[in-house]
Structure 1
Amino acid sequence: MAATTTNSAGPVEISIRQKLNAQLEPSELIIINDSWQHRHHAAMKAEGGGNGETHFSLQVVSDAFKGKNTMQRHRMIYSALSEELSQGLHALSIKTQTTEEVQNMQKP
């Protein structure tokens, strides 16, 4: 499985990775911590800048998404990360694909 992070992973990122790996068994999982781009938002200032793990971009390739539309796929991810979302994870930018969708995009 391919895995990429932009820096050393914090506890929220580690938890995201563990839960998505366990529940979706992705062939590719890219997690990018975008929190630094949002540190000036009022909600983040109110929390003293937060813990630095409030906003993430996720790219997930998993056959668990077969037969599911985008909204259903996103609900799967939000359900898997419900604990993190209730404890300060503020926003997710999500891109989901199946292995077949990735292969079809790579065809000339």
Structure 2
Amino acid sequence: MNGPIAQEMRRLLTDALAPTRLEIINDSARHHGHAGHDGSGESHFTIEIESAAFAGISRLQRQRLVNASLGDIPGQRVHALAIKARAPGE
């Protein structure tokens, strides 16, 4: 079951980047007791996303697009995001 932050991330990424594939994986349980684990159960995520918006741009630019699409979630409401961003066919 996805919590409210994961659901919000899915909506924001879908609206901004029209992904052809999107997987949001909650890694929070693996970080219990580590820095940034706030007890909410939604502190660490991996995002795997495929979108035509990433065609022809660098890995850094892709990560910046994802972070910008998520607004205040990275660094404010989520401690850590691992981003795997690909263009279709990669």
Same fold at TM > 0.5: yes
- In the alignment, the residues of structure 2 paired with residue 27 and residue 66 of structure 1 have an alpha-carbon distance, to the nearest angstrom, of 13
1:67 to 43, 50, 56: 56
In structure 2, runs of 5+ residues without a counterpart are: none
Pick aligned residue for 2:12 from 19, 25, 44: 19
Of the two structures, which has the highest relative contact order with CA contacts closer than 8 Å and spacing of 6 or more? 2
Summarize the alignment of residues 1-108 of structure 1 with structure 2, pairs less than 5 Å apart.
Answer: 8-44=1-37, 47=38, 49=39, 51-101=40-90
Q: Runs ≥4 in structure 1, deviation > 3 angstroms?
A: none
Give me the TM-score of the superposition, normalised by structure 1: 0.77
Q: Which structure has more helix as a fraction of its residues?
A: 1
Distance 1:20 1:41, change over 3 A: same
1:84 deviates by: 1.3
Q: Aligned partner of 1:59: which letter?
A: E
Instruction: Tell me how many residue pairs correspond in the alignment.
Output: 90
TM-score (norm 2): 0.92
Which is higher, the Rg of structure 1 or of structure 2? 1
Identity of aligned residues (%): 39
Give the distance between the partners of 1:21 and 1:81, measured in 2 at CA.
10
